C-alpha cells in the first residue's frame, strides 16, 4: 500500500521527467548533423579573435567537432544536467507535511507504521525514479547514433548516467529534507533551485569545487576516469540530508 501511495504521488512528475529527458537526449543526436555543417562558419568567425571569449569559443568548437564531444558538451554538460537537477528536486518535494496541509496526513499517521518507514518508502521510490531518469535517456544515444552514421559507446552512456544520478540524488535528498521543514512544495523547490544556482556560481569562480563538473562527467569525458571522489562526496552529503530529514520528521507535531 505504501509503495503504491508513493508511486501515485509522484508518477506524473516521474513520467514527465523521463519523457522530456529522453526526447532531449535523442534530439541531440540529430542536432549534430546541423551543427557539423555550421562548424566552418563558427571557426572563421573566431579565427582571429585572441580574447578570452574567442579562445573559449574555439575550444567549444574543437570539442564539438567529434560526435562524442558534441554530445557531452550539449547534452551531459548542458541540458541533461540542468533539467536533471530540476526534475530531481521536483521528485523530492512533497511528503507528509504537504499531506498535513491538505488534511490527509491524519489517515497516513494512523497506519501501523513509523514516520521513518513512511520516509524510507518515499525515499526509495524517489531515488529509484532518479536512477531511471538519469540512466535511461543516455542509453538512447547508442541506439540512435547509427542513424546518422555515428557511434556512441554503451559504456560511455552508462558512465555519464551514473554521474548524473549521484548529483541528481543529492538534489532529491535536499528537496526531501526541505520538505520536512515546509508544508508547501514551492519553498523547497525554490530554495533547492536557488542553492543549485549558487553551486553553479561557485563552480565558475572556483572550478575545483565543481558540483556540476561531477554531474556532467567531465573528468570521464577528458580522461576516461570516473570522478570517484566527487561521487563519494555527493553520496555522503545525500545520506546526511536524508538522515536529517528523518530526524526532522520524527520531531514534527501534526
Query: Residues 19-29: what's their mean pLDDT?
Result: 96
Checking if the pLDDT of 24 tops 70, the result is: yes
The pLDDT, as a whole number, for residue 100 is 47
Residue 97 CA: distances (Å) to CA of 87, 109, 177, 246, 254:
20, 11, 11, 13, 8
Predicted structure pTM score: 0.89
The pLDDT, as a whole number, for residue 84 is 95
Q: What is the pLDDT of residues 174-189, one digit of tens each?
A: 999 999 888 888 899 9
What's the structural domain count of the chain?
Answer: 1
Which of 48 and 241 is assigned the larger pLDDT?
Answer: 241
Query: What is the domain extent for residue 245?
Result: 2-251
Q: What is the pLDDT of residues 94-118, one digit of tens each?
A: 765 555 455 454 455 555 567 778 8
Amino acid at each position: 500500500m505504501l509503495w503504491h501511495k508513493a508511486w501515485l504521488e509522484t508518477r506524473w512528475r516521474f513520467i514527465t521527467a523521463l519523457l522530456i529527458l529522453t526526447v532531449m537526449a535523442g534530439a541531440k543526436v540529430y542536432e549534430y548533423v546541423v551543427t557539423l555543417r555550421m562548424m566552418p562558419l563558427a571557426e572563421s568567425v573566431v579565427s582571429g579573435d585572441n580574447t578570452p571569449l574567442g579562445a573559449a569559443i574555439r575550444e567549444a568548437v574543437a570539442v564539438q567537432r567529434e560526435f562524442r564531444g558534441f554530445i557531452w558538451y550539449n547534452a551531459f554538460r548542458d541540458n541533461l544536467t540542468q533539467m536533471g537537477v530540476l526534475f530531481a528536486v521536483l521528485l523530492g518535494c512533497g511528503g507528509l507535511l504537504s499531506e498535513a496541509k491538505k488534511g490527509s496526513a491524519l489517515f497516513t499517521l494512523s497506519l501501523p507504521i513509523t514516520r521513518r518507514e513512511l520516509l524510507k518508502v518515499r525515499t526509495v521510490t524517489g531515488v529509484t525514479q532518479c536512477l531511471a531518469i538519469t540512466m535511461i535517456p543516455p542509453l538512447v544515444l547508442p541506439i540512435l547514433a547509427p542513424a546518422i552514421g555515428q557511434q556512441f559507446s554503451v559504456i560511455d552512456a552508462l558512465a555519464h548516467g551514473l554521474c548524473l544520478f549521484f548529483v541528481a540524488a543529492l538534489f532529491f535528498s535536499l528537496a526531501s529534507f526541505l520538505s520536512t521543514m515546509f508544508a508547501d512544495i514551492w519553498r523547497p523547490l525554490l530554495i533547492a533551485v536557488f542553492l543549485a544556482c549558487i553551486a553553479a556560481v561557485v563552480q565558475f569562480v572556483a572550478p575545483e569545487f565543481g558540483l556540476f563538473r561531477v554531474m556532467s562527467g567531465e573528468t570521464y569525458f577528458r580522461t576516461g576516469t570516473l570522478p570517484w571522489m566527487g561521487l563519494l562526496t555527493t553520496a555522503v552529503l545525500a545520506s546526511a540530508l536524508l538522515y536529517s530529514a528523518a530526524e526532522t520528521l520524527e520531531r514534527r507535531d501534526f
